[in-house]
Structure 1
Amino acid sequence: MTSTLTIVANIEAKADKIEFVKTALLKLIEPTRLEEGCIQYDLHQDNNNPALFTFVENWVSHELLQQHLNSPHLKMYVQATEGAVASFIVNEITKIT
């Protein structure tokens, strides 16, 4: 049995760009959820640090995740938010229980 690929992506906006980055991240949700292989794509905002956003994602395979990473809407997000993001950390994780 093959398990799904889980991704946790943490994006920290620069202090003066929080709403700008949030708006750009929200635009990713609909087209990404329509992509082949997307099981879950949920955006969260930290309760204590509004500059910190987290995507929790589940994908059918690494190959389909790669297609997402090369999608036009993700490329547009990266270009639009250049200079507005302080950090971007992606972790691939595996559920163990």
Structure 2
Amino acid sequence: MTVLTIIADIRIKPDEVEPVLASYRNLIPQVLPEPGCLQYDLHQDNEDPAHLLFFENWESRELWLDHMKTDHLAAHQAATDDKIESLTIYEMTKL
């Protein structure tokens, strides 16, 4: 089995950190039981609270793509889209 690792590099607008973190705290327990979700960990920079990294592991790319279509992810994105400065998603494979 080839596990898909997702690293999401997120920069929040400085005055929007708390609302975005609250939305992520709501989202995480909804994602963890999804089929194929092996890991879904959010990290915050110790010196820059507006910089987050998500580390995700999925059983397959197809299951991750299914996750990307969920209603709870769409609701999170709608609630935070205007609060995010930048988002870069990396699809990776562990060597």
Runs of 4+ in 1 over 2 A off after TM superposition: none
The separation in 1 between residues aligned to 2:89 and 2:81, in whole angstroms, is 17
Q: 1:82, CA displacement in angstroms?
A: 2.3
8 Å CA contact retained: 2:40, 2:56: yes
**What is aligned with 1:61?**
60
Q: CA RMSD in A?
A: 0.8
The letter of the residue matching 2:11 is: E
Identity of aligned residues (%): 42
**What is aligned with 1:26?**
25
SS at 2:82 equivalent: coil
**5+ unaligned residues in a row in structure 2: which ranges?**
none
Q: 1:87, CA displacement in angstroms?
A: 0.5
Instruction: Please report the TM-score for the alignment, with normalisation by the length of structure 2.
Output: 0.96
Instruction: Please report the TM-score for the alignment, with normalisation by the length of structure 1.
Output: 0.94
The letter of the residue matching 1:61 is: S
